[in-house]
Structure 1
């Protein structure tokens, strides 16, 4: 039997570093969940642990459910992805005189740049902003979109702009064509057939469940605070609340080419690349978007189909590799280490690969190694090096204040790691030399030795 101790160590390390309250994860081979468990707390205040049954918001992973529902309706002959949006509602934005169709909203290629409705609505609900955006229904969304013509950038189908607003309208089209509410349609035609018995949209269903992860704002300056899940206004764009064991059933459905809820041809249409995202020549090849699903072209030699989600107080990720017949699902009740990177670590293990050799893991290890206190000859100068996302922060402290500079990576090799500061339009380099004797930094005119860790 395969040991997952290495994965568990990695997860515990990262949720500790990023102060995530809790996390649940499952790994899947075909129909079987081969490993699942919770880490940390689903409820810090009451001391309740996260489990593999714990409920969390899945955020924008909901979009794949929305597109699957549309493909079901296509199978039934009730609509076409080539139908104009204006066939179903008074949508009168025509980018460069052309028509926006259902497929353009599904693939985020309407030609309209993101308008930020979900960001502001979620921010207002969780308390990160005092601004208010009263979008509760698709008709509210249509009112909001009036005047958005100036945010058109391309013709439909030409460029990827993640467009939450369009998914709200797709939910309304599903309602109009099916005669059911969006939530009831998803329940009857996807959740129930897949036996996803603990996946909900309604607040009453979530709050009466015995294993719900409390949503947290764990990234605020004020420290960790309890937030709220979003039960209105996001629906088809990001409203589903679920657990990793239910998501495992959902991911397995894709590995089985849609059975028992959709035809293989419908799944193929969802996965088919429709547009490139801004990630070109990334760590795992180009990234594309289909219908409610994204893909990395070369994750350890195979396609990785995926979607993430975030509502500020919870993050999510679902990924599957059709050629390898494996999948992963991750849910957290906060924001911290990227959920997709947990998934890829676990999937690498299922593929028999060393996850520590993944480029982002190797990069993180090399960056973390540089953090610490650096001192010059006889300790005349003292600098601190801190991680700052994908960069480093150099700090010099004295009793009058702090001088700081962002060090931008240019090349990261095992023994020489080169960074630069942009000053008056000129690159000024800082080099770190790493060997068995320790780490030395050359910054401007100073040679510094790493002498300790950060307190």
Structure 2
């Protein structure tokens, strides 16, 4: 059961996130394995009309789609039409050198040896009106032509390495289509969305635009966000093309919490779905502690979170399962702010575990404390001055002595900026990279204010 105190804290967290980042709006659902526990909309789904966001607002959920693609593949594995150890060449016409060594399971886990090849970057830049990269990539023939020399990217340096790949999931959708004998989007709608009652979820951009409760896509500009067109990528629907609402994603989360069942309908064998949620490879830190099939695993506030995020440049999203608590969370945003919904979702997990988001989520901890360090500093009699600025994960410091100026980057030794609580005065330590000789830097809370110890200088904070 989610308590009123927890939902109040969640409201504060989400509201502060939108206020800090300038994102137009967001929608949230928290569910247990049978019942929606909490649902809310925050801000607006359209920045021009200021129309409120609701739990039913539709968003492009981007890479959250990968878990749906995984479920579709596992359905075909259960039916005996695909096998996890099948080479992808058995079910597609991909033919670059070494393609016959790549298995379906390796594509699911981003461990095929293929690095990110930039397909999504090309399509998103073009379709969201962000600019043109100049690669012809419009249909399947273009894709296979583009992949012709990709085998050279897959060598002893990249094999067995986790490398997140949207192209991998495009190829998985082609394998699915070859055995299911229908397009990927039609398959997912018939075999997953319809059985779960996800009636408004779709891959159809026109249906999305015609829906009375959809989030206008907003792209980042210098002073905030502005409306733009929806970047519908028919070529990469399996990698990131699903459109859904947090409320409908709640049904999907309940199905996963129930082992592949919902309301008497079984979508996949529970053991196969369990493999998707399990740990198979060690990813890069931003993707969690482990990666399964279209799902990542991480520990937040001492509880396991199985989830995935999505970034569409014009919207962003995150889903998470808390299997130890039988809870699920879906969070979608009407833009892609600097602080991603996956970070906020982790903060929600901390609240549900009666912990402090700032204490257990590094990014939230950093942002809650960095303001105490930024601002203008001066040395004795003001001869030396410095301006410390937050650059989103690190600081920059501009130091001036009259006409003499220099700029440095300061990297925090502790990304949460908790500070050294074992000293009489709180100390935050940073490193200023220098060729061959990095320089330690300290901020010290003396009780009278914050002082910056940089090289030979001691500077006192004057203002924020």
Please confirm whether the aligned pair reaches a TM-score higher than 0.5, indicating the same fold. yes
**What are the residue-to-residue correspondences of 1:212-251 with 2, within 5 Å?**
212-218=214-220, 220-221=221-222, 223-231=224-232, 232-251=234-253
Residues 285-332 of structure 1 deviation map (CA, whole Å, 9 limit, x = unaligned): x71111111111x33333211111111111111110212211111111
Residues 93-148 of structure 1 deviation map (CA, whole Å, 9 limit, x = unaligned): 344x9611211111111111111111121012112222233434333321210011
Question: Is the contact between residue 217 and residue 315 of structure 2 (CA under 8 Å) also seen in structure 1?
Answer: yes
Local SS of the residue matching 1:213: coil
Local SS of the residue matching 1:26: strand
Offset at residue 45 of structure 1 (A): 0.8
Give the distance between the partners of 1:154 and 1:38, measured in 2 at CA. Answer: 48
**What are the residue-to-residue correspondences of 1:224-303 with 2, within 5 Å?**
224-231=225-232, 232-259=234-261, 260-279=266-285, 287-296=289-298, 298-303=299-304
Partner of 1:363: 366
Q: 1:94 to 1:101 in 2, by over 3 A?
A: farther
**What are the residue-to-residue correspondences of 1:316-331 with 2, within 5 Å?**
316-331=317-332
Q: CA RMSD in A?
A: 2.3
Question: Is the contact between residue 309 and residue 315 of structure 1 (CA under 8 Å) also seen in structure 2?
Answer: yes
| Paired residues, number | 446
Q: Structure 2-normalised TM-score? A: 0.90
Partner of 2:420: 413
Give the distance between the partners of 1:7 and 1:71, measured in 2 at CA. Answer: 34
Offset at residue 154 of structure 1 (A): 4.0
Question: Is the contact between residue 419 and residue 431 of structure 1 (CA under 8 Å) also seen in structure 2?
Answer: yes
Offset at residue 57 of structure 1 (A): 0.7
Offset at residue 89 of structure 1 (A): 2.2
Local SS of the residue matching 1:253: helix
1:196 partnered with 2:181: no
Give the distance between the partners of 1:139 and 1:67, measured in 2 at CA. Answer: 24
Local SS of the residue matching 2:195: coil
Partner of 2:8: 5
Give the distance between the partners of 1:52 and 1:420, measured in 2 at CA. Answer: 43
Give the distance between the partners of 1:25 and 1:330, measured in 2 at CA. Answer: 5
Give the distance between the partners of 2:240 and 2:328, measured in 1 at CA. Answer: 21
Question: Is the contact between residue 384 and residue 402 of structure 2 (CA under 8 Å) also seen in structure 1?
Answer: no
Q: Structure 1-normalised TM-score? A: 0.92
1:433 partnered with 2:444: yes
Partner of 1:63: 66
Question: Is the contact between residue 343 and residue 361 of structure 2 (CA under 8 Å) also seen in structure 1?
Answer: no
1:447 partnered with 2:444: no
Residues 360-401 of structure 1 deviation map (CA, whole Å, 9 limit, x = unaligned): 133332323212222223333332211112211112479989
Q: 1:439 to 1:156 in 2, by over 3 A?
A: closer
Local SS of the residue matching 2:438: strand
Partner of 2:93: 90
